[in-house]
Chain A
Amino acid sequence: MKDSPQVTIEVRNIVKQFGAFRALDNVDLKVANGELLALLGPSGSGKTTLLRIIAGLDWPDAGEVSFDGENALARGAGERHVGFVFQHYALFRHMTVFENVAFGLRVQPRAVRKDEAAIRARVKELLDLVQLDWLAGRYPSQLSGGQRQRIALARALAIEPRILLLDEPFGALDAKVRKELRQWLRSLHEEINVTSIFVTHDQEEALEVANRVVVMDKGRIEQIGTPGDVYDNPATAFVHSFIGESIILPVDVSEGHVKLGSRVLNVDANGASGPSKLFVRRHDMHVGPVGEGAFDGTVRRVRSFGPIQRADIALNGDGDTLVEIDAPRDRNLTAGDIVSLQPRRYRIFAGRD
């Protein structure tokens, strides 16, 4: 299976409307061959709709989808050779695990269908791949969630798909199983190397598993980049607030000066102007002696866990604003301390919505 064909997927100007709701608004996306791509976004961002359109389970109102330059919209779902793994597995409940995996092989046109012995061998091979060969005779209802998900994957792989699509593959599993399956999917992808896209709303999952992450919101793509990229260099305010945890302060920018309330902050405007938002990662806020930072504040509460301590700091002169920062454990902080805060890395995005 090492030499599975690797397909490039191209999506251009896809629009999809459900009544008055615009699920996808001019989406462009190119997925390189052999990639493992994550579509990440909150619910309603259109990520699942995009996946279903690529699979042929939904049709776009406008736009193009092509696999290796060939128009995919001219083909139905069954003719695209796409492996699709559903969020709730969608295993055939009245068939055994074996028959579930064999399904795609048995329904092939007579001319290309394998004989029974070849089908059995192939199913065995796939069950070995997902390490569940001992469950061949069971029914889906007798399996755990994690096992069902792996069988669903084996079933999708049976047809030797050109592309593998996974809709919230681990969404219905508990945290521990989810973590194990993440690692497993990662290594499985290295083994079979089929161009794959998975949908998730879990940023940790996207950042940990994917080669590249597509961040979506309200039917649009906000940013495409490597996990490091989207975390360190968020392209939009949405990405900054959606991925990782940030301190967000409403600021006003005029003539290159950034003001929080009436106080001018000692930071660059980054080209923004008017009402804006200042984004700082918690761990990028440096705590120093009074007067040395962009703003001063009073420590309200400190708690320590693991390698960091987290402190709530009320900004001086603006009693309502409470920011949560992460500081190293060796930085001595106690409630009541008056300190200064200086963002080491930050971003300013125009707009306040």
Chain B
Amino acid sequence: MTLVTIETSTSAAAVQPFPSRVAPLARRDARTEPRLVRGIIITLALTFLTVFVVLPLALVFLEAFSKGVGFYLKALADPEALAAIWLTLVTAAISVSLNLVFGVAAAWAIAKFEFRGKTLLITLIDLPFSVSPVISGLVFVLLFGAQGFFGPWLMAHGIHVLFALPAIVLATAFVTFPFVARELIPLMQEQGSQEEEAAISLGASGWRTFLLVTLPNVKWGLLYGVLLCNARAMGEFGAVSVVSGHIRGETNTMPLLVEILYNEYQLVGAFAIASLLAFLALVTLIVKTILEGHLDEGQPASDD
């Protein structure tokens, strides 16, 4: 029997001098779809992206430049526009710094220590994500408004919170709080505290351990969190709209000004400001992609 089998297979090989020719049929992978299906799916995705993402973005720039570069620059040089840009930058700078400190502190506490109420803290960090921004704004009105909790006392002492920079910063910081903390917590939890323990047993102080060991280990995650936090801070509309009071040239941030100009049919002005925000989004996307590369490496080997 065995002999016969060998005979057959030998003769079969002899008949087919190029057995590799038949291979493509057998090689069809179970996971690959027919070309047509692949083509349809890819076209669908690309069409959707073009219509809903690329086209609107392009239109923003087209509309902004519709009456020429001169008009565009003039719209941006308008005192109201400049004030809005300045206010947005200041608000983002302050609220991102605040969230940098709070986020690192919260992530540090959650990742490195065991304490009562830890689960509650983790849940609370997510609160700004789950609450509508309008509610977040209203909370500050309830706290600092004329009939609010601290309002009368603050007003008696001549401190203006609502309809001024402080409330805008507070509302922005509240809405963007989770970005830094959310990014850092899993990273720090995964890294554990052994490196910190090693540093401390080698004689480093708590502060130096933080600066030399903890911070470098999370720097890419931290930058990533700050980037997202910043993008949201500059683009925040709902919460800021409730607390700003829309005082022209004073308490309008860029997103608020875009709405106002648009409602007043100043399309070039509205889209000029909008183009800045869109540009910010594009820069954010590019930087985000670069940072994600570093995060995936895990080990910044190209460092120093």
Q: Which residues of A contact B (CB under 8 A)?
A: 55-57, 76-84, 86, 88, 90-95, 103-104, 107-108, 139, 141-142, 155-156, 158-159
Contact = CB atoms under 8 A, between A and B. Distances in A.
12 contacts: A56-B201, A57-B201, A78-B202, A84-B197, A86-B198, A88-B194, A90-B197, A91-B198, A92-B198, A104-B202, A139-B301, A156-B201
Contacts, number: 74
A55 B201 contact: yes
A352 B6 CA distance: 66
A78 B204 contact: yes
Interface of A is mostly: loop
10 closest A-B pairs by CB: A104-B202, A90-B194, A107-B204, A90-B198, A94-B216, A78-B203, A84-B201, A141-B299, A77-B201, A90-B195
Contact of A57 (B197, B202, B204, B212): B197
Q: Which of A90, A139, A159 has the most CB of B within 10 A?
A: A90
Interface in B202-216: 202-205, 208, 212-213, 216
Contact of B202 (A93, A94, A139, A155): A155
A94 B203 contact: no
B173 to A, nearest CB: 30
A91 B195 CA distance: 6
Interface of B is mostly: helix
B199 A92 contact: yes
Contacts of B195: 90-93
A95 B304 CA distance: 9
A107 B216 contact: no
Contacts of A92: 195, 198-199, 212-213
A90 B191 CA distance: 10
Interface in B46-99: none
B69 to A, nearest CB: 46
B300 interface: yes
Given A94-B216, A139-B299, A82 B199 contact: no
Given A90-B194, A94-B216, 4 more contacts: A86-B198, A107-B203, A107-B212, A156-B201
A104 B200 CA distance: 9
Contact of A93 (B203, B205, B212, B217): B217
A55 B204 CA distance: 14
B264 interface: no
Contact of A159 (B202, B212, B213): B202
B177 to A, nearest CB: 27
A150 to B, nearest CB: 15
A78 to B, nearest CB: 4
Given A93-B299, A94-B300, A141-B299, A107 B194 contact: no
B303 interface: yes
Contacts of A95: 216
Nearest to A107: B204
Nearest to A142: B301
Contact of A103 (B204, B217, B303): B204
A93 B195 CA distance: 9
A141 to B, nearest CB: 5
Contacts of B208: 107
Nearest to B194: A90
